[in-house]
Amino acid sequence: MVVGVNCGHTRTGAGCGANGIISESEYTRKVGYALMELLKNNGAVVIDCTVDKASSQSEYLKAVAAFANNEELDWFISIHFNASAGHLANGVEAYTYKGRKYQDALDICENISRFGFENRGVRDGSGLYVIRKTKAKAILIEVCFCDNEDDVRKFHEAGGEAVIAEAIYSGIQKKTENDHIPFDAYIGSIARRDWKERRILLPSVVVAQAIKESCWGTSELARNAKALFGIKLNGWKGKTYIKTATEQKPDGGIYQVKNTIWRAYDSWEQSVIDHNDYIATRSTDGGKTLRYAEIIGCIDYKKVCAGLQSCGYATAINYGESLIRDYIEKYHLSMFDEYSL
């Protein structure tokens, strides 16, 4: 696969991007270069169609199209961040020639919207130079609004450029363990089976955590380490995977820990079972007390989610609430609890 990636706009001067709460030109580069890395690491040939400086807007646009048309691309992807007059508009959208609803384009919007952004859909981009003048199948992605406070917060909370790059990547290259079974149904079946046997963690909560933490099985950990939950070593003797961790401070600030070591598995099923093992056995005092005692076997998803939060499962400050609101209730995941209580 040969993919042309354009980090939208020049850095400064003519052709420069919008200046919102974050700078468009800066963040198109963060997302674009993360996407290029991901594509290269997975065997794609990447053509960088980014132009840092131009004497005019039209010279900038021509230079981008020239880069793209120099090669036989399978995809031309231009990354942007949106802005609106009153700074109130929000959400993700994508533009294609004549608004063609390529499945990949629909999936990219859907994947990004799963971080809480409104999905504004795939729109007609025939009027956009880099869509109209490029020969390859082309998409221009407006990740979210760089001048909207909620959107910028969601972008950072989700994990920033790394997770957006993954959401875009998995839209154009989808190969996962569950192939033709919906992700929630697949994980739900494993969670229910284990619940019936061992009564550790309520299935709706397992599925919500798996969706949230792995972005529906598309995250780097889910793909490369078969790990649906970000569980660090904590005494683990099995396979491992090294990747940067995104953590949140109690005041809401986000920070990253490079070279974090994560548990890795042979399959998603093993990951779900190990996550339940972890909940059932995690102790920080040599086994005298179990960290998650209050939620083991509990059949009330609200109590379980609140318990995960209060027992310190995640550093994200709204982790428990988000499991309930953004996943269990939104996607009716308590259906996985029926008949198995």
Nearer of residues 90 and 246 to Zn ion, judged by Cβ:
90
> Least distance (Å) from Zn ion to the CB of residue 28?
7
**In a 3-state reduction of DSSP, which class is residue 171?**
helix
- What residues line the site for Zn ion (CB under 5 A)? 8, 17, 80
Q: Closer to Zn ion at the Cβ: 27 or 336?
A: 27
80 vs 114, which CB is nearer to Zn ion?
80
Residues present in the chain in total: 341
Among all residues, whose Cβ is closest to Zn ion? 80
- Least distance between Zn ion and beta carbon 72 (Å): 26
Structure tokens at 76: 């031309």
| Nearest distance in Å: CB 100, Zn ion | 20
Range 189-193, long-range pairs (CB < 8 A, 24+ positions): 190/268, 190/269, 190/272, 190/273, 191/272, 191/336, 192/336, 192/340
CB contact set of 244 (below 8 Å; sequence gap of 6+): 162, 256, 257, 258, 259, 260
User: Looking at beta carbons only, is 8 or 20 nearer to Zn ion?
Assistant: 8
CA atoms of 166 and 287, how far apart (whole Å):
38
CB of 94 to Zn ion, least distance (A): 13
The first and second tokens of residue 261, run together, are: 């070591």
In which element (H, E) is residue 331 found? Answer: none
Question: Toward Zn ion, which CB reaches closer, 17 or 307?
Answer: 17
How deeply is 250 buried, as exposed, middle or buried, from its count of CB atoms within 10 A (0-12, 13-18, 19+)? exposed
Taking the least distance from each CB to Zn ion, the nearer of 8 and 32 is 8
The answer to whether the beta carbons of residues 81 and 28 sit under 8 Å apart is yes
What's the min distance (Å) between Cβ of 46 and Zn ion? 21
* Least Cβ distance, residue 278 to Zn ion (angstroms): 43
